[in-house]
A and B are shown apart, each in its own frame.
Chain A
């Protein structure tokens, strides 16, 4: 049996357990409602969940644009110019250790409890790993490659487009993977804390009235969102980074980012 079918079997087994354990009464329905009652709860309130999902997806999309765009831009500057690196990097690294969620109440004061405060929080949350990975990706480019390009008469802009960007892509992508995941976390968590719409808000509201099936329906939606994001990133990685296997520099930088060495405090 291949590892893949085994993995599918494990997932299927977990789903069966999810249905059976509450039904047989081994776990009270309040703690874990059965799969079928969760799905039914979600189906009955489909309009409400659909609206919440739209709000959350909108916040995630805008935050991701800010986090990834800003992270790549500033990471490229910091990675290629030593002076901004000296000024900014120590600050960013210490900021990384701060649980940024403490800033969220401040954002709600500034921006209200609508989408703006979630977007601001999630953008900053996802921005840091993206920026750090981009900076690392550009710093770890083999100087021999740039020298070779120069020996063939490449101008500065040609070196940027034809050498620096393709060489940095694998590391940047692994930063996007973490940054994007954190954007989802940031949006959902901030919705759960203080808000009036979104999946996080629904989860939190149904929890206060102890309606477990509706809570778990929301959890399932967040789960699907995260899986969809991960699948998309994997697809891009496969498309963009087929050469990654061949380079130790790119590989080790990617490992460093991916292994959680750069995980922030939540």
Chain B
């Protein structure tokens, strides 16, 4: 674990949290035609990095994320997480955070966080202790007994993150997790996520529509374009960490955002 805010862990366990995507393709067969969702995508994500996938709708960024989670099989190519393929979901290697709707509304926040442990038959006391730790990490200590409809949008998303982290996987995949939040909450949650990321040293792959969010959060931004889905650019974001609100109006920030926008305008 690495408490410092701005770098990958100094000595990560070898390959823990590394993701390798090699020549991955995905074809959806429909009745009338085959749709190429992804074509020859290759990507190397180093352990502990914060990588953001951006691109217009239909560029396959969510599809790619689902493949990294083992929730969908690719038509061709290979994906490895921690050096091994991921043919089905493995919560010990990969935690997934969806949009806010994915909390179970009939369970309390802590029962939601315990859910993946309960599936594995972990004893109640251990489950509770781990859930409390995860809720504390996301700043929701004392909210465990509430049901999702008693929590705000931002709090629900914190519960989702806690659920993704409760088994301490080296990789956290996030599929537009803040898309349903209002602007202010979104900014706060971005900072919170960076704090959690820095505290845990996880590899994070984050899908978003927002260019500002992409540059603000990322070590590296992967720009994708549709028809067929492919990678058109990879940008290193060398802004210092911790990131601050003032950086948003800086020249370096603007230049990066402009570069992404030019790619997206071309393909949209």
Contact = CB atoms under 8 A, between A and B. Distances in A.
B253 interface: no
A234 interface: no
Given A153-B116, A158-B119, A246-B148, A144 B106 contact: no
Interface stretch (B95-103, B192-200, B239-247): B95-103
A163 B149 contact: no
Main secondary structure of the interface of A (DSSP, over half): helix
Interface in B31-77: 69-71
Interface residues of A, number: 24
A117 B90 CA distance: 55
Given A145-B104, A158-B119, A153 B89 contact: yes
Contacts of A142: 101-102
B263 interface: no
B104 A246 contact: no
Interface string A231-251: 000000000001101110010
Contacts of B265: none
A166 to B, nearest CB: 5
Contact of A246 (B105, B116, B118): B105
Q: Give the most central of B91, B106, B118: most A CB within 10 Å.
A: B106
Contacts of B98: 144, 147-148, 151
Interface string A137-169: 000001011011111111100100011001101
Interface string B134-151: 000000000000011110
Contacts of B91: 151-153
A154 B90 CA distance: 10
B119 A154 contact: yes
Interface in B104-119: 104-107, 115-116, 118-119
Nearest to B96: A151
Interface in B137-168: 147-150, 163
B113 to A, nearest CB: 11
Contacts of A242: 106, 147
Contact of B149 (A155, A167, A169, A243): A243
B96 A243 contact: no
B102 to A, nearest CB: 4
Given A243-B105, A243-B149, A151 B71 contact: yes
Contacts of A144: 98-99, 101-102
Contact of B120 (A153, A247, A250): A153
B120 A145 contact: no
Contact of A163 (B89, B104, B116): B104
B96 A245 contact: no
A246 B102 contact: no
Interface of A: 142, 144-145, 147-155, 158, 162-163, 166-167, 169, 242-243, 245-247, 250
12 contacts: A145-B101, A150-B89, A151-B71, A151-B98, A152-B96, A153-B119, A153-B120, A162-B118, A166-B104, A167-B104, A167-B106, A246-B150
Interface of B: 69-71, 88-91, 94, 96, 98-99, 101-102, 104-107, 115-116, 118-120, 147-150, 163
In the A-B complex, the 5 residue pairs with the smallest Cβ-Cβ separation, listed nearest first, are A246-B149, A152-B116, A148-B102, A151-B96, A243-B106
Given A151-B89, A154-B119, A246-B105, 11 more contacts: A145-B102, A145-B104, A147-B71, A149-B115, A151-B91, A151-B98, A167-B104, A169-B106, A243-B107, A243-B149, A246-B150
